[in-house]
Structure 1
């Protein structure tokens, strides 16, 4: 079922998520809802906290060369931990919880991550390029952080002013 995506400055987005302890039907249902929501909102990643669930669960499904998101390319990443990171890259990021805003963010270019799949199997994988960026972005959500917190002081001040104006106009 498609869920509502929480939008900044919703206070729940600032909360830290907890590890998944039970790899059961409840988790599988959450993963299904997250996938439907992400695709419906035209995102490439989603953290459970963005739909109001404080669990260390994220999904990522990058768009392929034809511009499609195929379910066989879906990553379901549960209780992730970055084991290694190196390099540096800058990418223009956006976020379903900060709709319509994009800015350049610096992140590690290469990461090695330990995580569990939907069935509780431990996985370890290395990610580079956009996949590494997306994993780091979604893992920030699990810690209660948004990409706008990585903006320089001046860019953040400008963002806050424009965002407040946008929020007032929308009400």
Structure 2
């Protein structure tokens, strides 16, 4: 396994709608495992394939992550995920590996059902709530070319973008 480079929010690949996965092959298995390793190395809870430059409908999420504290790692891989049911909205703080050091309160559904396919080609279904529901919705937004700050009002979003660009310049210089 190897670490992948996480693209930042200025990379155009994060604004593209990802293509469905048609075939499961060894390259996809390797990509999935590399994404898991990259997610953990970056201290993340989830990662979408386009965040590492691959515009395909693939996400990894750590099922062992609960309410802000790490328990046992339990990574899951979902190909072509879709939300099939959702209920009760709530606000909660979010960050993103593609927008380091920036957080904001974002509205998300409290409970969702997600369906997709695993690496063996089997249909999978997950019912999740609270923090994991937020993580799934965040990663699925990436597959649609959306970032968490797109769900905010224009003024707040523009403030966060300016803050991110300032942080980026400070890191470069």
Above 0.5 in TM-score? yes
1:24–1:119 contact (8 Å) kept in structure 2: no
Q: SS of 1:92's equivalent?
A: strand
Which segments of 5 or more consecutive residues in structure 2 lack a partner in the other structure?
none
- Note the aligned Cα RMSD (angstroms): 1.7
Higher-strand-fraction structure: 2
Give the corresponding residue for 2:46: 45
TM-score where L is the length of structure 2? 0.92
* Kept after mapping to 2: 8 A contact 1:93/1:103: yes
Q: Aligned pair in 2 of structure 1 residues 69, 26: CA closer, same or farther (>3 Å)?
A: farther
Cα deviation per residue 1:36-85 (whole Å; 9 max; x = unaligned)?
A: 100111101000100001110001114358944534x2121110111111
Q: Deviations over 1:85-122 (max 9, x none)?
A: 11011110000000000110000111111110111101
The 4+ residue runs of structure 1 with deviation greater than 6 A are none
Q: Specify the alignment match of 2:72 in structure 1.
A: 70
3-state SS in 2 of match to 1:109: strand
Equivalent pairs counted in the alignment come to 170
| Stretches of structure 1 lacking an aligned partner (at least 5 in a row) | none
Asked whether the 8 Å contact 2:65–2:132 carries over to 1, the reply is no
Aligned equivalents of 1:74, 1:160: Cα separation in 2: 30
Aligned-partner Cα distance in 1 for 2:94–2:23: 32
